[in-house]
Amino acid sequence: MVQTIAADNLTLYDLQQHFQLQQTEDPFFFSEWQENLPVLTESEQQRLSRVRQIVANLEQRSVLENTVKLAVVAPLLDLSGLFLPPFYISTENSVEIEARDETTLVRGRIDILVIKDQLWVLVIESKRAEFSPKVGIPQVLSYMLAAPQRGLSLYGLVTNGTDFVFLKLLRQDHPLYARSRQFILAQDHDLEQVLQILKRLAGIVAQL
């Protein structure tokens, strides 16, 4: 009997059990997020500074719910060249998520942007960004595991607009993945590093 698991209920344990997915600790497996990063231009740095100012303004009013992609993700994709050929973006996939404590129910949405079939950007939208990027890691890995390409390195980015985690997946007999450290928009130069990594991954994927 085929077991169906809702995308918003997926865990890393599910992916380990059903797809034999394993996380590797090999530091060379996902060196792309640390090595050969492009130097940002002064205009790119100024644009990122403006993004930080916009987010700081939004956070004062707790209105991040429908502005993550507009305020943060769209500029990053634009500056990375991911809106231009040979890339394309599909936004057909989304799942609902929710978190509950004793007094509050928080609902959110995960949108999957597929870029040239080797790069996924997963955006978690929720009021005041309650959801950590960690909640989206199983979901984006499940989409990467389902991609038709085999033998190619696949990359992902999970963000709630203020925190960012990059992923790499290589599907072999036993698929392996690794993740970057978590980048935080408010920390010095983290947003710059996010853009540098995106530009680096875009350059790799463009050649595949």
Q: Retrieve residue 60's tokens.
A: 């004062």
Q: In this structure, what DSSP letter does residue 35 have?
A: S
Q: Retrieve residue 25's tokens.
A: 């600790």
- State the pLDDT at residue 173: 76
> What are the φ/ψ torsions at residue 54 (nearest 5 degrees)?
-65, -45
CA atoms within 13 A on the CB side of 39: 2
pLDDT tens-digit map of 102-148: 554 444 455 767 788 788 888 765 544 456 778 788 888 887 887 77
Residue written as token pair 């990375």: 80
Which residues are bridge partners to 98 per DSSP?
107
pLDDT tens-digit map of 80-102: 999 999 998 877 665 554 444 45
Coil, strand, or helix at residue 153?
strand
